Amino acid sequence: MLSASSSKYDMIMKASVSLFTERGFDATTIPMIAERAHVGTGTIYRYFDSKETLVNVLFQESIQRFMEKLKQDFSELSVREGFHHVFCCLIQFTKESDYALFFLETKKDAHYLNATSRKMIENLTQMLDDYFNKGKAEGVIRSLPSNVLIAIVLGAFLKIYQLVQTGDIEMDMDLRTELEQCCWDAIKLHSFTSQK
């Protein structure tokens, strides 16, 4: 029973995140989720108070998982290693589930996010802000506002992963490495090179 229930919960979460990623929150209906999760529509309301609750739980869980992954050994790394770590987290997390894509796509002022979800975005932003500040202090990363640096890396990553999801490109080890370098090049301080 517990396992059956928990399985239904997971199925609903899985179905929801994939549909929200594909179609967005507002274009996804409860019957669509129910069908993809192979449960009745009523069942969804046994686990979630409302569609809005569902999306917030989903969002919070996804950002939570991402932050936990990110936190592991993060502070002990050098700036460049830290960047590699962030990139790996993004890649790995996106591989595991659509969660990463879902929260990258969600704008922080999305009408369906509640206060808790917004708070968690701030938390994640803070973590990344700390990291970028360290990089900037060390003269390794461009002295741009952290939210801009985050926007560059996550924005690029998001758009690329949309291509993966639509089947336009395949993400292999080589591409992965090169993309990481692209993103790094975007934000790192190219101090001694004459730039053109």
Partner DNA sequence: GATGAATGAGATTTCATTCAT
Partner DNA sequence: GATGAATGAAATCTCATTCAT
Interacting residues with a second copy (CB under 8 A) = 22-27, 80, 107-109, 111, 142, 144-145, 147-148, 150-160, 162-163, 166, 168-169, 175, 178-179, 181-183, 185-188, 190, 193, 195-196
117 is an interface residue for DNA by CB under 7 A: no
Q: How many CB atoms lie within 10 A of CB 33?
A: 25
What b/e sequence results for 116-150 when a residue is b if at least 16 CB atoms lie within 10 Å of its CB, and e otherwise?
Answer: ebeebbeebeebbbebbeebbeeebbbeeebeebb
Candidate ranges 23-31, 62-70, 84-92, 153-161; the one touching DNA (CB under 7 A):
23-31
CA distance 71 to 78: 14
**Which residues in the 34-63 window bind DNA by CB under 7 A?**
34, 38-43, 45-47, 49-52
8 is an interface residue for DNA by CB under 7 A: yes
Are 16 and 41 in contact by the 8 Å Cβ rule? The answer is no
Nearest distance from C-beta of residue 92 to a second copy, angstroms: 19
Q: How many CB atoms lie within 10 A of CB 156?
A: 14
- Judged by beta carbon distances under 5 to 8 A according to partner kind, the member of DNA, a second copy, none in contact with residue 29 is DNA
